[in-house]
A and B are shown apart, each in its own frame.
Chain A
Amino acid sequence: MSEAATEPLPQAGAVKSSWRFNSMIGLNIVALVFGLGFWQLVTSLGVVGLPTPVQVFNQAIASISSGLLVSDALASLARVLTGFILGIAVAVPVGFLMGWYPTARGLIEPYIQFFRTIPPLAIIPLAIVTMGIGEVPKIFVIFLAAFLTSVVATFQGVISVDRTLINAARVLGARDATIFRRVVIPASTPFIMVGVRIGLGSSWATVVAAELIAAQSGLGFRMQQGQLYYDLPVIFVSLITIGILGLIMDRIVIAADRRLTAWQEKA
């Protein structure tokens, strides 16, 4: 038993990579400071007719203390999470069904492929006409955005499960239900997580657009108001909030993915 693992143990690279991580963070901060400085410079010199970082910051403080920013952000988040969670909850079983049963695939795939080519936003006029101007059409459109990206990813995951793993389970005495539960589901998790991540991104893009078109609350609605009254700082605050919230959600998904698929062999 003298033979040793060829891959280095994870601790071996830890020192080097933590240094790289710190210097990366340092570079990121430098870039941020430089960008803000540039923004301040061009706006205070009047090169472009945009608000200065200070004006935007003051507007952010005002929006937060009036409670509007928080309530807008919560309204948008509530729509995204409802639509997104519903979308994933339907997409994963449908994707599994399509991957596992060729009949289901044959019946469902034409619709998925067709609706995938339509941007979810294009559905908004139809959704408003048929579902009214309340929460339902917005959540429906977000649901659609999340569903369409995740269902394809899940389906891909199921059909690309290594046949040898299925055979290995089979020769150990596993039947179809067990193979599905203990092999197909874990093996397709990395694919599903890719779908979840893309789905969340497209949900977030969709909610803002939907609120621009028809809403009485939310970050998109606030920008629409800012446009109406030529209130550029309000638009900036909304934009930055959208960016920050999108980034945080993406990081949460990445962290979940790391935990769920830590077993993967990275090439």
Chain B
Amino acid sequence: MNPKISFKDVSRTFDVAGRPIFKALDRFSLDIEDGEFITVVGPSGCGKSTAMNIAAGLLQPSSGQVVVDGVEVKGPGPERGVIFQQYALFPWLTVRENVEFGLRLQNIPKQKRREIADHFIDLVGLKDFAHALPKMLSGGMKQRCAIARAYAVNPKILLMDEPFGALDALTRVQLQDQLLQTWSKERRTVMFITHDVDEAVYLANRVVVMAARPGRLDRIIDVGLPYPRTEEIRLSPEFATLRNEVWRAVYHPAAAA
């Protein structure tokens, strides 16, 4: 089977005034299979967000290409849902209006729109807050709303840029479980960026470890743990072994080629 998302020798440089060109991403190649949950972990400056933004179509690569379903990415599209660390909810719209935003753009009739929105609002557990404005929601609820909004347009791929990075440790663990629950019901290909090693191992089929200066792929670690992931798995020796392996990879990357 062909990979769902394919990074082919993707590089991205930035001109930093007065300094030599900054290599944010250097010849990054990665194949993500259909329905796979990939986490990308690495120190800041390793290019993980750059890679995701290129896949989202929000950033152009300097060289190389990203191919989704055999088609080169040229710009953003609703088949690739994006979830931002800063939630990016439209503050003047209610939870339901936010979730319906993408559906309105597709001219889906009102009745159908409402049905779809309600389904996903329910799925992320915000049923009682459908009419609330974002300012009424906690950080975790905002991110759940953003997840519902991304799901509503029925993307084949979810690109998540440190979505739980701004949340406290407890909320973060809850949202990880909820995300996996949602993902098991509504299976999508997920590329999830994080700087949290535990989170990377807990969620993923495979953990992609990146290194900085220049931003590059360091290694890919297979997580052989079964789904659904539970607290038991989180506390198991197998999990600890994997976490240690990822940890060592993140903090002691191989030298740049």
Beta-carbon contacts of A177-195 to B below 8 Å, as 1s and 0s? 0100011001101000000
Q: Is the CB of A186 within 8 A of B90?
A: yes
* B80 contacts A by Cβ under 8 Å: yes
**Complex: A169 Cα to B127 Cα, angstroms:** 23
Which of B56, B91, B106, B136 is within 8 Å of A5, CB to CB?
Answer: B136
**Complex: A229 Cα to B86 Cα, angstroms:** 66
**Complex: A170 Cα to B105 Cα, angstroms:** 11
Q: Is the CB of B141 within 8 A of A3?
A: yes
Which of A4, A164, A170 is within 8 Å of B138, CB to CB?
Answer: A4
* A1 contacts B by Cβ under 8 Å: yes
**Complex: A162 Cα to B84 Cα, angstroms:** 13
A179 CB to nearest chain B CB (Å) = 10
Q: Is the CB of B101 within 8 A of A172?
A: yes
Chain A's closest residue to B139 (CB) is: A6
Chain B's closest residue to A164 (CB) is: B88
* B133 contacts A by Cβ under 8 Å: yes
Beta-carbon contacts of A1-45 to B below 8 Å, as 1s and 0s? 111111101000000000000000000000000000000000000
Q: Is the CB of A263 within 8 A of B135?
A: yes
Q: Is the CB of A164 within 8 A of B102?
A: no
A-B CB pair tally, cutoff 8 Å:
84
Q: Is the CB of B153 within 8 A of A5?
A: no
- What size tier do the contact residues of chain A reach? 20 to 34
* A174 contacts B by Cβ under 8 Å: yes
Q: Is the CB of B149 within 8 A of A172?
A: yes
* B211 contacts A by Cβ under 8 Å: no
Q: Is the CB of A168 within 8 A of B105?
A: no
- Among the interface residues B58, B76, B78, B93, which one has the most CB atoms of the partner chain A within 10 A? B76
**Complex: A5 Cα to B136 Cα, angstroms:** 7
Given known pairs A7-B138, A263-B133, the reply for A170 and B88 (CB within 8 Å) is: no
Which of A172, A186, A264 is within 8 Å of B135, CB to CB?
Answer: A264
Beta-carbon contacts of B120-147 to A below 8 Å, as 1s and 0s? 0000010000000111111111000000
Report which A residues bind B (CB closer than 8 A). 1-7, 9, 162, 164-165, 167-174, 178, 182-183, 186-187, 189, 261-265
